Amino acid sequence: MHTINGRATRTNLSNNSKIRTKSIMSSHKDVSIIIVDDMQFSRVVVQAALKKAGYSNIRVAESAEIALKMLDDQHADVVLADWVMPGMDGLQLTEALRQRDEENGIYTAVILFTAQEGIEPLVEAFNRGIDDYINKPPNPHELAARVNAAARIASLQNDLLETSHQLENTIKQLEEMALTDPLTGAGNRRLATKQLEMHLLEASARRGGVCFLMLDIDHFKQINDTYGHDVGDEVLIGFTRRLRRTVRPTDLVARMGGEEFGIIMHYTRAENYKPASLNRVLSSINQRPFKTSAGDLPITASIGVHFYDGVGEVPSVLKVVKAADEKLYEAKNNGRNQIAI
């Protein structure tokens, strides 16, 4: 009985060992390695040792310059390079790799083969970016272990860089969302405030002009009450599209809140501003009904305008918006569907 159990135990241990070995061999196949050495014999010895350890994705280069060209074709997880080589040596190659990694947002582990003695050269090498070193001639077992460790370092660093990259993209998307109205895709009040402030300062410095329009869809509450908020949203989206097609590409259309919209028009020269030209905005809104799921709906809007000609003290954003808002209510009190300037 004991013998049988002993055999069973040894068999299980043997199987577990095979599984672990198979797992290591499988992971080794995913590691990309470049061996850089001007001595052919050294390249052959290192390559043979790594193949025996289970690594298969191995490229060899007789110079640092050739290795860099190889990296242009395909990234490597680990670069094994001789410290002393004609032309570009191992430390110079390391510095070139670090620069490339920084530009490409990746990480390459670097191991140098060295016959250098003393601490100071090694300290310099680590300061210049190497991850590890191996004395020449390398012990095959030590070589495999250090390459394995370097591959883990590269994998962890690249995972961190990828996570950082994804985080940057997420932050960028959030910033865009923070400046964009999610329903209409137009700018929001925050973006309008930032852009208006910038244009006012620029107009003052260069004697330009800034025209700010406040628009309010007439009787919008009645649309929501009669047809529902989904149809109201369709009107807001269609209203935004029509405004964008009407104004210049450089003009900003923003949803200020609810059914209120703002348009910022910047002029490089104040005299280029023509109040009569704003009638095209009102005409565009009224030119045809808005298509919705409840049918075609006639929509009108009231517009208030304030213009800054770049002369005198730069008005605050709040002052400009308030002035345009007062004109908007003047247009509404005068019967709606008109412009007050």
217: part of which helix (H) or strand (E)? strand 209-217
CA distances (Å), origin 238, targets 20, 242, 299:
63, 6, 10
Is the link from the previous residue into 289 a cis peptide, with omega within 30 of 0? Answer: no
Contact assessment for residue 322 and residue 314, using Cβ atoms and an 8 Å cutoff? no
Q: Which residues pair with 61 in a beta bridge?
A: 36
The CA angle 84-85-88, to the nearest 5 degrees, is 110
Strand pairing report for 187-188 and 260-267: unpaired
d(CA 54, CA 223): 72
- Catalytic residue at 259? yes
Going across the sheet that includes 33-36, the strands are 58-61, 33-36, 78-82, 109-114, 132-135
167 is written with which tokens? 């985080």
In angstroms, the Cα distances linking 337 to 30, 55, 303 are: 68, 76, 8
Q: Which two tokens stand for residue 338?
A: 């008109």
Catalytic residue, from 62, 65, 168, 259: name it. Answer: 259
CA 88, CA 270: separation in Å to the nearest integer? 61
The closest alpha carbon to 208, from 275, 278, 266, belongs to 266
C-alpha distance across the termini of the chain, in Å: 104
Q: Closest Cα to residue 81, out of 107, 60, 58? A: 60
Q: Which residues are catalytic?
A: 259
